[in-house]
Structure 1
Amino acid sequence: MGRVMDKVALVTGGASGIGLSSALLLAKEGAKVVIADFNVDGAKAAAQDIKSRGGEAVGIFLDAGDENSIKEAIKFTVKQFGTINVLYNNVGSTNLKKDLDVVNMDLDEWDRLMNLNLKSVLLGTRFAIPHMIKAGGGSIINTASMAGFFSDSIRSAYGASKAGVVILTKYIATQYGKNKIRCNAVAPGLILTPAAKNNMTPEVLDIFAKFNALPYHGEPEDIGNTVVFLASDESKFITGQTIQVEGGHYIANPSIADFEDYMKK
């Protein structure tokens, strides 16, 4: 307990899944949390849950595709709690019916994802940094993705936007490190969020499990615990890094699982 005691944290996309788990864990460890989400009712419900456990939290509306909405979220956080020490840029999205291969993708979807997944990180950071400088430093955490490191048959725009998050994280860390502002990212693999559970059949989950080094899938808390670590002073000498939290899914020769099956025959 108390790993981020009295730090002020803004979590975007915090009404569900990874963002919700991160907000709950930050509050459990002593942070004052602003939960910002397009689903404002979900954000307020999450904040109420934290308060019922003795923590401090507020839920607000956020449209991460709108510059002014992001600016207002930062402004609200500082007005509510006096400063901002931790910014978790977590919002991300894709549309698998539109985000296809490079020939067939919807170009409007490309623009939407670059704005929502990448520009929102830039803007949140841009508006938070002046306050963090006044506070004597801070920690910025971005949600990247393993899609930013490895390609797929679809999700071209999503992967490109998340690769952008990875390199933008390094630029922020380089440019503002002397101000005691750290910037790191987390790249989740398959995480069993409610959305993943609702949209993936057991057969699809089995395919993913086949290629994991570990014999289980990730849970939202696996990302949340990483976020708490990066928000805390325990990680004070870590910056510009993207921590891959993916159960070893990508560490081996991609043919090894099939080769092991072959050897068993």
Structure 2
Amino acid sequence: MGRVQDKVALITGAASGIGLATAKLMAKEGAKVVIADFNIEGAKEVAAEIKAEGGEATAVFLDAGQEDSIKEAVEFTVNTYGTITVLYNNVGLTNLKKDLDVVNMDLDEWDRLMNINLKSVLLGSRFAIPHMIKAGGGSIINTASMAGFASDSIRSAYGASKAGVAHLTKYIATQYGKDNIRCNAVAPGLILTPAAENSLPPAMLEIFKKYNALPYNGEPNDIGYTVLFLASDEAKYITGQTIKVEGGHYIANPTIADVNELMKNAQDNQ
């Protein structure tokens, strides 16, 4: 208990999935948490749940595609709790129907994803950093993605935007480190959020698990605990890094799972 005691954390996209899990963990460990989400009713429910469990939280509406809304969420945090010492830029969107290969993708969707996935990270940091400097420092954590490190047959804009998040993280860390502001990112692999489980068939989830080094897929708390660590003083000498939380899905020769299965079948048939 108390790993982030009395820190003030603004968490975007916190009404569900990874953001929700992180908000609950942060509050359990002593942070005052602002739940920022487009789904304001869902954000209010999460804040109420945290308070019912003895934590401190409040909710604010956030449209991550609008500069004024991001600024207002930061100002709301400071006005409510006096400062902001942790910012978790977690909002991100993907679109499997419009974000296709580079020849066939919807160019308006490219612009939309760059705005929400990448520019919102820039703006959240831009508005929070002056307050963190006044507070004597802080920690910014950004949600990148393994799509920013490994390519795919579709989701070109999503992958490019998340690669941008990972690199922007380094720039923020470099530019504001002397102000005692750390900036790191987390790159999730497949995480079993409600959205993922509702949109991906069980067979697809099994494919991901097959190619993991570990025998299971990730859960929201796996990201939440990583963010909690980066927000805490335990990570005071870590900055400019992107931590890949992906179950070892990307560490091996991509043929290894199929080769192992082939060899096992050969042994079984001897």
1:96-115 → structure 2 map (5 Å cutoff)? 96-115=96-115
Amino acid at match of 2:9: A
SS of aligned partner of 1:59: strand
Matched, 1:262 2:255: no
Aligned twin of 1:215: 215
Percent of aligned pairs with the same amino acid? 79
Matched, 1:47 2:80: no
Q: Deviations over 1:131-171 (max 9, x none)?
A: 00000000000000000000000000000000000000000
Amino acid at match of 1:32: K
Aligned twin of 1:164: 164
SS of aligned partner of 1:117: helix
User: Which has the higher mean CA deviation after the structures are superposed, 135-144 or 201-210?
Assistant: 201-210
Cα deviation for residue 204 of structure 1 reads: 0.5
Unaligned runs of 5+ in 2: none
Q: Distance in 1 between matches of 2:198 and 2:98?
A: 20
Q: Distance in 1 between matches of 2:57 and 2:203?
A: 39
Aligned twin of 2:247: 247
Aligned twin of 1:2: 2
Cα deviation for residue 181 of structure 1 reads: 0.1
1:11-160 → structure 2 map (5 Å cutoff)? 11-160=11-160
Q: How many residues align?
A: 265
Amino acid at match of 1:111: D
Q: Distance in 2 between matches of 1:232 and 1:56?
A: 17
Q: Distance in 2 between matches of 1:234 and 1:63?
A: 32
Cα deviation for residue 13 of structure 1 reads: 0.2
SS of aligned partner of 1:65: coil
TM-score (structure 1 length as normaliser): 0.99
Aligned twin of 2:186: 186
Cα deviation for residue 22 of structure 1 reads: 0.3
Unaligned runs of 5+ in 1: none
TM-score (structure 2 length as normaliser): 0.98
- RMSD across aligned C-alpha pairs, in angstroms? 0.5
Cα deviation for residue 217 of structure 1 reads: 0.7
Q: Distance in 1 between matches of 2:256 and 2:151?
A: 18
SS of aligned partner of 1:182: strand
Q: Distance in 2 between matches of 1:127 and 1:12?
A: 14
1:220-235 → structure 2 map (5 Å cutoff)? 220-235=220-235
